[in-house]
Amino acid sequence: MNLNIHSKLPDVGTTIFTLIGELANRHQAINLGQGFPDFSAPRALLDRVDHHVQAGHNQYAPMAGVGHLREAIADKVGRLYGRTLSPEREVTVTPGATEALYCAITACVSPGDEVIMFDPAYDSYDPAVTLSGGRPIHLPLRLPDFSIDWQRVKDAINPRTRMIILNSPHNPSGATLSAQDLQSLAELVRDTDIVLLSDEVYEHLVYDGRVHQSLLRHDELAARAFVVFSFGKTYHVTGWKTGYCIAPPDLTAELRKVHQYVSFVAVTPIQHALADFMRDCPEHYRELPTFYQHKRDLFCRLLQESRFRFTPTAGTFFQLVDYSEISDRDDMAMAEWLTCEKGVAAIPVSVFYKEPPAARYVRLCFAKEDDTLTKAAELLCRI
């Protein structure tokens, strides 16, 4: 039977992370492509999962999330960002940050609406907008520092603009927003109906004494924003696919209308375990900047002898490297060559763009054991 299928995403194929991951496995390359740690979560957190599984916490959780986890999230936000939240009306636990992003977009974007996003942009934003019938508006970040051109944003805003998507610390560049960026954004959206969606899954991975400028720090922005976070990035458990969204009550109500029909709930024993660990071990997230800055500094120091050029990343666990002194290949061909021929998997940055620039970057992940980083750097320095 030949079905006449009209794809809603005709230009979308398998994600680059799957393709490079499979290539790395096939060639037994060190995988610095997809962003996941090769080290374990804290033992105490794993023990709490086992405890709650054995205690019988294996049935559906409340749709918005386990109550004491939402309370722990609200407490943390209060300490970090000075914002008082209602766990009942403003905090929603989701099976992964990507689900929260999708639900926020689906809840607010209607056919014909325009959504501004900044390239290089994480690959889930555009398809979610497209599936909602919206029109993605891709604005390039300024090179070489991947900063936002606020005049260009102002010029792009029109009566059809429904949402602006931000991402800080930024994947793939590691760039971070400043307090002045938040003020510039506030001036542009004031007296409009524009909703903000802020992807802040790397909130704790900021370096060199920087302070994460969450939209939750800014009263005017927080009043119109969905702000999305990830437990996977914070606790080294990306495979648990557990995140959360903070939004004012009216936006939270709309998010939950979608969330309940996409997944309904996140995994119950994991939610209980995370709540316990947040209560008992708050030092974990406080120590993350130092933990990951050590890995960034080690990796960058090891790469100093290579022909790659780079500026140490300001945030995330990704490091962009410029390979223009090594090859004139496009970045997809370069990533494949590095993986297949040189034994180190990388992600091409052009896949994050609607219209890629001429710059030649690949993205490397340093959320790895020090020995893994040392071995990878040795291979890269031989090129």
Q: What is the mean pLDDT of residues 231-247?
A: 97
Answer yes or no: is pLDDT of 225 > 80: yes
Which residues, at least 6 apart from 79, have a Cβ–Cβ distance to it below 8 Å?
none
Residue 80 identity: L
Q: What is the mean pLDDT of residues 361-383?
A: 97
pTM over the 0.75 mark: yes
Nearest to 38 by CA among 311, 238, 301, 279: 238
Q: Please answer whether residues 341 and 372 qualify as being in contact, where contact means their C-beta atoms are separated by less than 8 angstroms.
A: no
At the top level of CATH, the class of 43-280 is alpha beta
What pLDDT was estimated at residue 269? 98
Gap between the Cα atoms of 123 and 126, Å rounded? 7
What pLDDT was estimated at residue 11? 82
What pLDDT was estimated at residue 2? 75
Average pLDDT of the chain is 96
- Tens of pLDDT along 1-48? 678 888 888 888 778 888 898 999 999 999 999 899 999 999 999 999
What pLDDT was estimated at residue 180? 98
Q: What percent of the chain has pLDDT over 90?
A: 93
Gap between the Cα atoms of 365 and 316, Å rounded? 9
What pLDDT was estimated at residue 1? 67
Cis? peptide before 169, omega within 30° of 0? yes
16-41+284-381 under CATH 3.40.605.10, yes or no? no
Answer yes or no: is pLDDT of 207 > 80: yes
Q: Quickly count: other Cβ atoms within 10 Å of residue 294's Cβ.
A: 13
What pLDDT was estimated at residue 18? 86
| Domains in the chain: boundaries | 16-41+284-381, 43-280
- Tens of pLDDT along 243-287? 999 999 999 999 999 999 999 999 999 999 999 999 999 999 999
The 8-class DSSP code of residue 129 comes to H
Q: What is the mean pLDDT of residues 130-155?
A: 97
